[in-house]
Each structure stands twice: as C-alpha cells, then as structure tokens.
Amino acid sequence: MISVNYRNSKGLSLLEMILVIGIMASILLLSIRQYQSYRLDSDMRQLEYNVDALFQAMGKYYRANCYGTTVPGADPAGTLQPGALHPNNNPSDPFPINIQTDLRDNGFLTENYPISPLLDETGPGNGYVVQFNRHTQPRTLCIDPPICSSTRTIGTIVFWTAQVAVLLRDPTLAQDYLQVLRGHCLSSFAGGTVTPCPGVGDYIVWERMPSFASPASTSSYWSMNPILDRFNQLYTTYPITYLLDTAGQTPSGPQYYLCGS
C-alpha cells in the first residue's frame, strides 16, 4: 500500500494565494494613488503657470493702453491718442479683456499654454476670465507742512489692477483649490466679468498690480526706472501752483495721474 505525504507536496495553498493577491493589490493601489497625486500636482502647477502668463500679457497691455500714444504728424505736435484705459475713452469698470483679440492678436500673449484639465472649458474664455478693475482717489497736497492740517486737491490718481479668474470643472472643490493655489477669493461671473474681491461664487480670483504681474520681470539693474517715473511726474504735468488754484482742473478737464507716474 502506497501512502502519500500531503504535507510535503509542492504548490501554493489558498491562504498563500490570497495573501500574494492582497499584497499585489495594495502595491497597485498605492501606485495609483501616488500617480494621481503627482498628476494633480502637475495640473495645479500648469494652472498657476497659465495664470502667470495671462498676468504678464495684461501687464504689457496696460503699459500700451493706460495712457496712449501721440498721433504722428498731428497739429499741434504731441496730440494724444488716448489708450483703451485712458479716462477720455470712458472705459467701463470692470474693463473686460478678450484673450484672443486683445492679447494674442496684438502680440501681448505669444505662447500657447496647455489647457488645464482642472478647468471647465465650457465656461467663458475656456475657463479663464481676465479684466482690469479701476481704482481712483484724489491726489492732495499739504499746504501747511509739517502739520498738514490743510490740504488742497491737485488731481485724480487713476490706476488699474489686473484680475484673472478661473472656473473649475468641479465647483465643489473651489474652496480647497483656493487655498492651495493661493487665490484671493471666490467670486461669480456676471455681465461679461467676474465680480472683484470680495465675492462669492465658483471662480477662483487673483488680482495684481500690472507692474507686479511677474515679480521676476523687473531687474535691479534697471536703476533708471524710478528716475524716469519721477521725470514724468514733475515735467509732464501742469505746475503745482496752477493746479492749486484750479483744484486740479485743467483746460481739458481733471488732471489725471496714470501709469504709475
């Protein structure tokens, strides 16, 4: 009679097979989660890059349109052709910007940034809404320094801030992405623009000064920039004594200070 010792037979038991499958499933699950984490981080970095590219393009648009240009051959010489953001053109506030016609077609936005999978491309501007928000305040001069108990208005300071807003594909995650992407607020789309901060809605909003569209775009080697701005401030405006007597009014209307000068 032949006896068989089953304890010494080769092969895997059911328990060992289940254990191997469990380990492989755990490794696969961790790999998928790690890939999703890397992919999400890449998508967020791409979105931040796209937003920065739009801000840089808007900074260039601002410099070209905040004041205007002189008309060649005009009489008298130096006749102004007001820019799109100049008060003479009565720009709306907020002032909407079309990414294609205002930025790309005019050469302010030259790169084709990838479409972000985080955005709702069916929204206005394929998920991006860009605009300028106007800020005004009177410019006053102290006439009894150093006490300054009496001031006189000599003009109106006008400046614009650039705003970029994005609409997420999943609005329920807007608050979470707002913190991660360092946005300024959440707001909503209305009438062709996104309500400036503070607001409420599904759009993540960033707002910057045009001169600070990209911090790395300004070099400390441009030491003449402050001097040039000061020259514009002092010598391209009406005399202070005249403005004091007229409360900042000029023959053509209020005295405006634009473009950071």
Each residue's pLDDT tens digit, 60-94? 898 888 877 776 665 565 677 888 988 888 899 99
Tell whether 5 is covered by a domain. Answer: no
261 has a pLDDT exceeding 50: no
226 has a pLDDT exceeding 70: no
Number of domains making up the chain: 1
Tell whether 156 is covered by a domain. Answer: yes
Identify the three-state secondary structure at position 34: helix
The highest-confidence range among 89-93, 112-116, 148-152, 257-261, by mean pLDDT, is 89-93
Tell whether 20 is covered by a domain. Answer: no
258 has a pLDDT exceeding 60: yes
b/e per residue 37-76 (b: at least 16 CB within 10 A): eeeeeeeeebbeebbbbbbbbbbbbbbebbbbeeeeeeee
225 has a pLDDT exceeding 60: no
Other Cβ atoms closer than 10 A to 164: 27
Tell whether 62 is covered by a domain. Answer: yes
Beta bridge mates, 130: 97, 164
Tell whether 120 is covered by a domain. Answer: yes
| Nearest of 115, 97, 100 to residue 47 by alpha carbon | 115
| pLDDT at 236 (0 to 100) | 57
In this structure, of 147-156, 171-180, 193-202, the range with the lowest mean pLDDT score is 147-156
Range of the domain at 209: 49-71+78-215+231-257
Tell whether 94 is covered by a domain. Answer: yes
Tell whether 202 is covered by a domain. Answer: yes
CA-CA distance, 80 to 88, in Å (whole number)? 10
Query: Please, which residues have CB within 8 angstroms of residue 140's CB and are 6 or more apart in sequence?
Result: 151, 152, 153, 154
pLDDT digits (tens, 9 = 90+) for 179-220: 888 889 999 998 889 999 988 888 999 999 887 766 555 555
12 has a pLDDT exceeding 70: no
Tell whether 178 is covered by a domain. Answer: yes
